[in-house]
Structure 1
Amino acid sequence: MFKRAVLLVGVLLVVTAGAKPVVVGGTVASTTEAPWAIALNNTQSVSSSGRYCGAALVAPDKIVTAAHCMDEAVSTYYAVQGRANLEDDSVGQVSAISKAWVHPGYNTKDHRYDVAVLTLATPFVGVPVLPLETRARADRRGAVPTVYGWGDTQGTGPDETLQKAAVPDLGDQACLAVKSYVSNGYAAATNVCAGYLAGGTDACQGDSGGPLVLNGRLLGVVSWGQGCAQPGKPGVYTEIAGAAKALLQQVR
């Protein structure tokens, strides 16, 4: 069950079909360069590897993901760190999830505050963490953050393997200019609009909750979009700064 909230014909849907993994139009990434990249797996996944969503390690015992990923019992989730190829269980470490906090402002109607903090039953001690970007001004047109994930590649990359893609920050107006995005809740205060207006590179199903990184900080998490890598349809990310106060209370 691979997930990313996808906007189709003006309606927000959560895709749970067995899509192939990884970022569309990206390149292979290593867990050495992104040790804080976490695969949030689930025992109910249709994949033998358990892949379900992405997340980022922000403290030894805390990961940040998308709220819409949390649609199963907490006991069915587990975090995997240090495993670029999810089918290679000889590497990396695994932890169950002991607690889940979903932002109280999140709702499935407009997907604002689409963010959650999960507590690891077994902390990933000694692993570098990704600091939260709490400054709203970091989300500015022209910046080029990088998204990481194991989601659908649509044939542009290898299956089951962590990938990354540079997705320019287009500025809020690029998404606010798309009528269907406005009607489905895009908000400058809580979202980041990133990608290419020409299409070709984007997060996709299975990348939900994965980190959008800028200058070594967690700028946002993969939230939703209209299709994947479609012209004129950028990716929508939950902006960490827009939920910083509540997130910091959970992470500290």
Structure 2
Amino acid sequence: MKMSRLYNGILLLLMLLILGCGNFEGVDNFPELDNYPTILNGSIGTHSQFPSIIVLAMDNGTTEWCTASLIKPDLILTAAHCAGSFSYLDAVYGVDSLPGPVLKLKNYKQHPLYSQFGSPWNDIAVMLLEEEIEDAVTADLLPSGDMLEIDDIVTIAGYGKTEEGTSGVLMYGDVPVWDTYGMEEMVLGDVTDPDAVHACFGDSGGPAYFDDGTDIYLSGVTSRAPLWAFGCGEGAIYTRAEAYPEWIETAYEELKNGEGDAPDAGSSSSSSSSSSSSGYPPDAGMPEPNHEEDIPILDPGCGCEMVPINSNGYAFTSFIFVAGFVLRRRNKFPITLK
């Protein structure tokens, strides 16, 4: 085989690997990660243990997408990247596992500084329910003056993937605060011990609770895997909910006034009322990619598991391989091996 053909083949293969990443392939597209349980190495929980936890689900409440917390009878707190599929989501409350009774979502607000294709910080959003939940138990945010510190112990919970590769089972576990990123983020979980408790795919948006000996507070919202992680088991980055009380209240008021980020605000987001039985609009195909970020997120919507690089690096690397392939084909960039 000529070296030129070998070189062309390598370039083409690398090009396909790079350009093929990030495509949406559905909620079960992590074949190498299907053996990770939700809340890795955690315990099966009940809703009575975590009465403010809630599930964001597709397919009429049967397919788990993200986890969330009820902070008002009609307001849900979750991760901003979970809202990218808002039109296909319903809420399910009061269950230990899916399926469950469906609650309709009315509108949502992402933090204005969060960028789906840029900065992953400020990964926080609120969603307004069509109706208040009667007798709801809501979570209280940790007071902003009581920020968590390294080595504090918190309890994480979520409805992510199970050992059988399915999802929608509530699990939980205790983890340490491993590190803090300013006032807005923290790393939870012992990053040196893969056998310890960790968040995993499907737990995005889910809570981290802190017990100060008197009350239990909601402190964290599951965001994404750290830069060094290649999957579950190496900690997770959480948005610190206590850093956003003013924004949450402002967003809630705007939602109540009919101001939100949903393009079809005011209409039902139910997949059953506007979609096919698969949970997606007829003839619309699958949703557009929601999470082409430079850092792995922890919901089941991303289909790429490459080594994380930033967005500029992604574009630059793609350009180099494409340019090299074209120039080589035009003999403008000859390669000789002596």
* Partner residue in 2 for 1:133: 142
Of 35-44 and 104-113, deviating more is 35-44
* Partner residue in 2 for 1:82: 94
Tell me by how many angstroms 1:250 deviates. 2.9
Query: Does the Cα contact within 8 Å between 2:27 and 2:65 map onto a contact in 1?
Result: no
* Partner residue in 2 for 1:240: 241
Q: What is the CA–CA distance in structure 1 between the aligned matches of 2:52 and 2:90, rounded to whole Å?
A: 15
Structure number with higher helix proportion: 2
Equivalent positions of 1:90-105 (< 5 A) are 93-105=101-113
Q: What is the CA–CA distance in structure 2 between the aligned matches of 1:212 and 1:29, rounded to whole Å?
A: 14
Q: 1:207 to 1:158 in 2, by over 3 A?
A: same
1:168 maps to 2:183: no
Q: Mark the structure with the bigger radius of gyration.
A: 2
* Partner residue in 1 for 2:39: 23
User: What percent identity do the matched residue pairs reach?
Assistant: 25
Structure number with higher strand proportion: 1
* Partner residue in 2 for 1:9: none
The match for 2:79 among 51, 66, 82 is: 66
Aligned amino acid, residue 218 of structure 2: L
Q: Residue by residue, what CA displacement relative to the aligned partner does 1:136-176 show, whole Å, maximum 9, x if unpaired?
A: 543211211111111124x399853100011111132xxxx
Aligned amino acid, residue 220 of structure 1: G
SS class of match (1:167): strand
Question: Which runs of no fewer than 5 residues in structure 1 stay unpaired?
Answer: 1-11, 173-186
Cα RMSD of the aligned pairs, angstroms, is 2.6
Question: With structure 2 as the length reference, what TM-score do the two structures score?
Answer: 0.58
Aligned amino acid, residue 236 of structure 1: I
Q: Residue by residue, what CA displacement relative to the aligned partner does 1:172-205 show, whole Å, maximum 9, x if unpaired?
A: 2xxxxxxxxxxxxxx3221011101312221111
The match for 2:184 among 161, 186, 190 is: 190
Question: With structure 1 as the length reference, what TM-score do the two structures score?
Answer: 0.77
Q: What is the CA–CA distance in structure 1 between the aligned matches of 2:114 and 2:169, rounded to whole Å?
A: 30
Tell me by how many angstroms 1:24 deviates. 1.0
Query: Does the Cα contact within 8 Å between 1:22 and 1:150 map onto a contact in 2?
Result: yes
1:223 maps to 2:228: no
Question: Which runs of no fewer than 5 residues in structure 2 stay unpaired?
Answer: 1-20, 254-338
**What is the total number of aligned residue pairs between the two structures?**
216
SS class of match (1:71): helix
Tell me by how many angstroms 1:223 deviates. 0.3
Q: What is the CA–CA distance in structure 2 between the aligned matches of 1:157 and 1:169, rounded to whole Å?
A: 28
Q: 1:17 to 1:120 in 2, by over 3 A?
A: closer
Query: Does the Cα contact within 8 Å between 2:70 and 2:77 map onto a contact in 1?
Result: yes
After TM superposition, which residue ranges in structure 1, 4 or more long, deviate above 6 angstroms? Answer: 12-15
Q: 1:151 to 1:14 in 2, by over 3 A?
A: farther
Aligned amino acid, residue 130 of structure 2: A
Q: 1:191 to 1:25 in 2, by over 3 A?
A: same
SS class of match (1:68): helix
Q: Residue by residue, what CA displacement relative to the aligned partner does 1:70-90 show, whole Å, maximum 9, x if unpaired?
A: 112x34211111111213x4x
Q: 1:166 to 1:157 in 2, by over 3 A?
A: farther
